Amino acid sequence: MSEERKLIKVTIDNITIDVEPGTSILNAARSIGGDVAPPAMCYYSKLKGSGGKCRTCLVEVAAGSTADPRPMPKLVASCRTNVMDGMIVKNITSEKVMDARNGVVEFLLINHPLDCPICDQAGECHLQDLSYEHGKESTRYEFKRRTFEKHDLGPYIQLHMTRCILCYRCVFTADQLTNKRVHGVLDRGDHSEIATFIEKNLDNDFIGNVIDVCPVGALTDKTFRFKNRVWFTKPVDAHCNCSKCCGEVQLWMRGDEVFRVTARKDEWGEIKDSTKGGTGWICNECRFEKKSLKDWVVEGPSVINRHSVISQGHYVDLVTPKETISAVMGGRSPKLLMNIHDESDVNKQNIELSKLNRPAHSDDFA
């Protein structure tokens, strides 16, 4: 007879929930969702052993448990600390946590180049998001930033070591998804770097997934590099019959052109589970070789968080304001009103830009 597992109570930012024993504070907070969930730059639920490296997920434990309600003396990494029955945790409600997180971000940015304007990860970079919330306008660091010898990781993956935050996610990915890990973190301290063993190419069928798990732009897709900004592309869910992987992907398109193929990600930026079961890791062939629309069966537009910069270029669910023109203009009535979509010489005359359910692309313009 199966024994029912007793749930335990935890309160995070004044919200009490019941969770399974053995749940980490981070995952308990994720089940509440929104800002209550601490940011996580190194933890990745699909990778065994990940977490405990970056310290962005620090939280305050104001009461350890019902049995021992003493507060924990220091902030703890929520990805590596399990909840206890009656635990009280503070994340966004703790000044100490916010202060520590500002410090962690300042540390992460000490060596990270501020090259977002030319970085392919811009728009979907977790460090960029974190810097907007917790970053400082300038740096207090007066020394030389780290520099590295260039490593060639083969035809598909570009490594920018100066952007790496040493989260180890790519190392766990190579370790757990491929049968031949040839890269890892070499050296110690601020000489630590991601490198391949005697410059061997990362040529395993599933190694492209390191690009998806990298929280910053240290590992990017050479077939997409510098071709487009992500917010100009439109992600659609698509699938194919692949013999190596689940074949369930996101195509990043502009017009009919497929610029990039990635695995599908959830609200935490982690790879989603496949509808066929298991994690939806994708193979190199799907990611790097199938760049034509005829390789795929398109299912429809991907659901993107409306606060994401990626959703900015989309015209799905366009809401027309209910106010009259004079209400919008503070009581003034315009003498002349011109519909730029009808009158403009820029777009083709048979195309009404406001009616498109996708971003406009070069074919729409004269």
Question: Interface residues with ligand SF4 (CB under 6 A)?
Answer: 164-170, 194, 213-216, 218-219
Nearer to ligand FES, 98 or 356 (CB): 98
For residue 54, the partner it binds in ligand FES, ligand SF4, none, with Cβ less than 5 to 8 A by kind, is ligand FES
H/E stretch holding 61: strand 58-63
Q: Is 127 in the site for ligand FES (CB under 6 A)?
A: no
Which whole-number Å values give the CA distances from 244 to 199, 259, 283, in the listed order? 26, 22, 6
Nearest approach in angstroms of CB 220 to ligand FES is: 21
Contact (Cβ atoms closer than 8 angstroms) between residue 210 and residue 180: no
CA distance 305 to 39: 16
- How many residues of this chain bind ligand FES (CB under 6 A)? 13
Binders of ligand FES among 27-56, rule CB under 6 A? 40-43, 51-56
Region 262-321 residues binding ligand FES, contact defined as CB under 6 A: none
Q: Which is nearer to ligand FES, 170 or 249 (CB)?
A: 170
53 binds, among ligand FES, ligand SF4, none (CB under 5 to 8 A by kind): ligand FES
Q: Tell me the torsion sign for CA atoms 221, 224, 226, 230.
A: negative
Partner whose footprint covers residue 218, from ligand SF4, ligand FES, none (CB < 5 to 8 Å by kind)? ligand SF4
**What one-letter code names the amino acid at 138?**
S
List, in order, residues 6 or more apart from 232 with CB less than 8 Å away: 254, 313, 359
Report d(CA 342, CA 305) in Å as an integer.
31
Alpha-carbon distance of 124 to 168, in angstroms, equals 19
In the numeric block, which tokens belong to residue 285? 């062939």
Least distance to ligand SF4 from the beta carbon of 178, Å?
14
Q: Decide whether 194 or 282 has the Cβ nearer to ligand FES.
A: 194
In this structure, are strands 248-254 and 234-239 parallel, antiparallel, or unpaired?
A: antiparallel
We find the least distance from the C-beta atom of residue 55 to ligand FES, in angstroms, to be: 5
Q: Which is nearer to ligand FES, 29 or 238 (CB)?
A: 29
User: Least CB distance from residue 49 to ligand FES, whole Å?
Assistant: 12
Residue 151: CB minimum distance to ligand SF4, A: 11
> Please, which of residues 51-90 interact with ligand FES by CB under 6 A?
51-57, 77, 79
* Plot region of 36 (φ>0 → left; ψ -120 to 50 → alpha; else → beta): alpha
Distances (CA, A) of 154 to 219, 279, 287: 12, 25, 15
Minimum CB–partner distance for residue 38 and ligand FES (Å): 8
Closest CB to ligand SF4 among 200 and 306? Answer: 200
Give the footprint of ligand FES on this chain (CB under 6 A).
40-43, 51-57, 77, 79
